[in-house]
Amino acid sequence: MSLDAINAAFDAAGREARKALVPFLMSGHPTPDQFARNLAEAGKYADVIEVGVPFSDPLADGPVIQAAAAEALKHGTTLASTLAAIAAREDGPPILLMLSCNQLLAHGLERVARRIVEAGASGAIVPDLPFEESTELREIFARHGLVLIAMLAPTTDAARKSAILRQAQGFAYLISVAGVTGARDAFPPETLDYIREAAQASSAPVCVGFGISKPQHVEQLREHADGFIVGSALIRAIESGGSVADVLAPLRQACDATITTGTDS
């Protein structure tokens, strides 16, 4: 897997006139064995999968994902065990790690990049690494064929947003609203404007995350987004004894639906 695998996933979605679905799972949650089963199950619905590496200090996470990380840490989940679980899967869509800058620095950037490649993952999302300080990691990842996913929020100013989107690879991660992760009922009209403007300026597909939990969200925002990231709703379902399919099957259906244009069919 590599940046090429991410590009291929979005190219396939585009050719098939559908939206990409990007679920988030916390490594080691609710147990390491169940995580491995959920990873395989999510692969039946996903175009790309994000795998969180639990960390003691939350990074834009709401209470649901914070609790999942805490539980995973109790099971002794580490970056090493996460990579081992990814390497052990038989097949599936490309995987991106979501982890902290400190986790990267503690292991060494070059060493982490090599281990990500060896595990068969395609890159990472590092929420606490400012874009202005990301050049070294981007260059290291590029040498290994990996991607560092860019993130931006509605509060990002115009000049910075433009710079981030010009350099985006794989996809640009659009945080839907100011705040932390967590399910929401609906999104304000300005969210659609934000997605449209980002899509027009981005050199890569744009995916919307933070609050995506039901088909209505996809229907509301799909006109300009290329994909949707679902995290808290999926973690909550797993916590309550539900299945990955309970959340991802209806979202997959919504992502696959053709946009209506106002004519009857």
Active site (catalytic) residues: 50, 61
Residue 74 CB contacts under 8 Å (≥ 6 apart), including other chains: none
Please, are residues 165 and 156 in contact by the beta-carbon 8 Å criterion?
A: no
Q: Where in the chain does DSSP place strands (E)?
A: 20-26, 49-52, 95-98, 123-125, 147-148, 150-152, 172-175, 206-209, 227-230
Spatial neighbors of 34 by CB under 8 A, at least 6 apart, are 238
Whether residue 127 is preceded by a cis peptide bond, meaning omega within 30 degrees of 0, is no
Q: Which one, of 127, 210, 128, 122, lies nearest residue 169 by Cα?
A: 122
